[in-house]
Amino acid sequence: MTTQLQFSRRTLGKTNIMVTPIGLGMMEFSGGGSGMIGSAFPAIDQAEKNATVKAALDGGINWFDTAELYGGGTSEASLSKALKAAGKTDQDVIVATKWWPLLRTARNIPITIHDRIRYLDGFSISLYMVHQPFSFSTPEAEMNAMADLVEAGKIRSVGISNFNAEQMRRAHKALQKRGLPLAVNQVRYSLVDRSIEKNGILDTARELGVTIIAYTPLGSGLLTGKYHKNPELLKQKHFFWRSRMQGNIERSRKLVETMEAIGSNYGATPAQVALNWLISFNGDSVVTIPGATKVKQADESAGAMHFKLSDAELSQLDELSKVF
């Protein structure tokens, strides 16, 4: 497999922010932090985090996705330290993070942005998203608060996460009134979760010029194939992830076997084939953020940009995964 990048960078929506089709998700860097997500992952040594981020950078990845929810600042601070250890400056990378809306109003957005800036410690927020559509405020109020942050120079662009089609339209319209684009909607999307193709989210995003950021692109590890080979490994997963995967191992077996066969043509793993399908099947409208806890995983994710599946292979995987 060639080490030359095969994919051009893509804009986030109608902004001028350019990212590689694959970024690195930072949820796994939450371990040891506060809250449910902080307890869902084991703590990772900062030296290992540094090496993992460097592997992503060396593989061509130029952006990183984190959030307030990811350990209450633990992930953000860890990312900043890792980028500095790799010798990167703010101009070298794109950082996305998210505001947690539960039990809050839009008035909290300008208050907690200072925490995000403090934890990121010198790395600016290129993309700031509302993490969920559940708050005490309307999407319009949230978007207006976000627009205020853009105008104040605290963030570069605005996005949403887990919003349905109608909520996405409302957010887009509110920002449009402020002269800003809605950059992204970050949603779950993979070969084993294609619901956004059926519920209007993908079609609406295309219509509005909003980029889809696909999270959980490997189905919580299901698409790596390791659980098909050794189902006992599933017992080692945290219940949060295990509950999402149970029942789908046999349903996805033929798909994973096909990905293994296709991957052999490129010297690629099933996981790399799954990521390549995500960033290819819908053209430039989808980017993705696989997570990583170790160097090998970051290197593998970056490597998914180093080959291109054929139209026939894309279609074959499309057919086999339509059951999802």
- Domain annotation covers residue 265: no
- Enumerate the H helices of the chain as residue ranges: 35-40, 46-58, 74-85, 109-120, 139-151, 165-177, 201-208, 226-229, 239-245, 253-263, 270-281, 295-303, 311-320
Which token pair is 281?
A: 């099947």
Q: What percent of the chain has pLDDT over 90?
A: 86
Q: Is residue 30 part of a domain?
A: yes
User: pLDDT for 261-281, tens place per residue?
Assistant: 999 999 999 999 999 999 999
Task: Say whether pLDDT at 3 is over 50.
Answer: no
Please identify every residue annotated as catalytic: 70
CB 68 within 8 A of CB 115: yes
Q: Binning pLDDT at 50, 70 and 90, where does residue 243 land?
A: low
Domain range spanning residue 131? 10-220+278-308
Q: How many domains are there within the chain?
A: 1
* CATH code for position 89: 3.20.20.100
Q: Amino acid identity, residue 106? A: A
Instruction: Render pLDDT for 152-166 as a digit per residue (tens, 0 to 9).
Output: 999 999 999 999 999
Name the 3-class secondary structure at 152. coil
Does residue 255 lie within any of the structural domains? no
Let me know if residue 229 belongs to a domain: no
pLDDT band at 240 (very low <50, low <70, confident <90, very high): low
Is residue 195 domain-resident? yes
Query: pLDDT averaged over the chain?
Result: 94
Residue 58: pLDDT band by 50, 70, 90 thresholds? very high
* Residue 154 domain-assigned (yes or no): yes
Residue 318 resides in a domain: no
Position 167 in a domain: yes
Q: pTM (2 decimals)?
A: 0.95
